[in-house]
Structure 1
């Protein structure tokens, strides 16, 4: 059976709330943590965006669960050499229980310094080189790298964990998923898509871990839960490349007005029927996912953690 973790949303909650949720998740029996890395939320209604590396430092003192970034973009907004240092420190703080999840990013977060937003193929090439730079630095030797996209001069990371930080690569389409299979120590996704999991494994991923995130809106009032999910997270079901190319939270808010409420109901489990939550997790397990991370977008966190602890997690085990 898959391992079940909790998904901390830096787009929706502030740093202190995230630490409290992590504590509650550990008490409820969740086994690990995912945490998003954003400069902006997807829309102003979500309303938060703390610096993920500060939150991870706090998590290392608050809980004993493993943590994965889901996901960091190490290509445009932050140079991969800086991400390498941040990840190494996080791994030391967490006693080796840290995974660096990386992806090719979104214009929403990466355009802020005025850099051009590259085409998908270029973004994946940048990601591949960035991962190479991070792994070189994690060896602890002095590194000089003169690549197509990145320059590193005589850099050495001194604070490092005993073992190199595992790097999992995200992919939401065939091209990115095959790259993840080729260069990743694992794979991150948000869809229960057996074809993508198979593509990862057949492209070199083999039996490496597959992580996936899912959202729920636990609330006794299913209609109210669906209203909230639609207002906050309709961006999850935007079509095509909109999620990667729209630059501002207000652009996402405008695009979200085109998303039917019923479409959000299909993507996000709403209400407090444990069987519905179990069925959604099972879809990920059936797709071949090893670690499922659950994000509560509803207001009733106490009800969510109690419901999952008493009615969902025991049945999954």
Structure 2
């Protein structure tokens, strides 16, 4: 069975708006919402980047049944894992078994702000595994000390702990990270219907929920959707490792200058065609690839048209209550 979700785009909306959209997603029958964890938006046009753990407090009180997942945090540089252990424990206590925490090796865009060195991916993956170990130790309770290669914790204890330990889904886009995700994760996270990393995760014994985000910009006129994407979400077209090393929104804006509107129109990474069949086929690609949690990100201010379009034209083709 596939669970369908909705993206709470922290880069595009103020915190109270995100809370309102979470409530609306629940009312419309979505299985889960996924919220991003950023210090900066990718480009200034997006306009926002509220502190996710404050926003989640609002989401927890505004909703009753919908699952809430963070997709994803980088718990290795900007915030020490001992602090994130407390943040996630509090969030899990508020949401109960509705909470899933997604983690990944992050982007320099968000993590460089304290002046720390931005390590290569291999080192960041080692740091991620140790960070998850620290968090789980603290979730378990009791006074905890940890003297590792990357992190030190002394005499820390969480007094407010989750009643149920939340799963930690690990983000991966390549075989090495997917293999690591299988080793220490409780689930898998990706963007796009990528089959190879998911296969590596499963072949190496990975289990748990498998999340993937589908990015769209729905408008009645495709030219409008292309224009909105071009202005507000050009970061989708920044290639390869560049996205993980650029340090500021200005750098992303500079890198995006090579992107044309025709690139946006022809790209597979963002659906701009208003034909329902195109959206249905795109969702089906995720399902066929093996993802059991598919969530959709609508670019731009017009979230209501997206909700109506998917409710009337797309979700009836799937097992969506």
Counterpart of 1:293 in 2: which secondary structure?
strand
Tell me what 2:50 maps to: 50
Aligned length, in residue pairs: 316
Q: Which consecutive aligned stretches of 4+ in structure 1 deviate over 6 angstroms post-superposition?
A: none
Segment drifting more, 270-279 vs 90-99: 270-279
1:184 and 1:237 map into 2 onto residues whose CA distance is: 28
Segment drifting more, 105-114 vs 227-236: 227-236
* 1:129-162 superposed Cα distances (whole Å, 9 cap, x missing partner): 0000001101012110000000000111111122
Conserved? CA contact 1:68–1:100, under 8 Å = yes
TM-score between both structures, scaled by the size of structure 1: 0.97
Counterparts in 2 of 1:14-53, with a 5 A limit?
14-53=14-53
Mark the runs of 5 or more structure 2 residues left unpaired by the alignment.
Answer: none
Segment drifting more, 195-204 vs 36-45: 195-204
Conserved? CA contact 1:95–1:161, under 8 Å = yes
Tell me what 2:314 maps to: 312
Segment drifting more, 65-74 vs 156-165: 156-165
Deviation for aligned residue 1:108:
0.3
Tell me what 1:136 maps to: 137
2:164 and 2:36 map into 1 onto residues whose CA distance is: 23
Which of 303, 306, 316 pairs up with 1:301? Answer: 303
Conserved? CA contact 1:274–1:311, under 8 Å = yes
* 1:230-265 superposed Cα distances (whole Å, 9 cap, x missing partner): 221121121121110000000000101112333333
Segment drifting more, 46-55 vs 236-245: 236-245
2:238 and 2:305 map into 1 onto residues whose CA distance is: 29
Counterpart of 2:47 in 1: which secondary structure?
coil
Deviation for aligned residue 1:127:
0.4
Deviation for aligned residue 1:273:
2.2
Conserved? CA contact 1:219–1:298, under 8 Å = no
1:194 and 1:161 map into 2 onto residues whose CA distance is: 33
Segment drifting more, 116-125 vs 304-313: 304-313
TM-score between both structures, scaled by the size of structure 2: 0.96
Counterparts in 2 of 1:214-233, with a 5 A limit?
214-233=214-233
1:202 and 1:127 map into 2 onto residues whose CA distance is: 21
Which of 290, 293, 308 pairs up with 1:291? Answer: 293
Counterpart of 1:138 in 2: which secondary structure?
helix
Mark the runs of 5 or more structure 1 residues left unpaired by the alignment.
Answer: none
Deviation for aligned residue 1:271:
4.2
* 1:52-106 superposed Cα distances (whole Å, 9 cap, x missing partner): 0011000001112111111001100000001111001001111221111111111
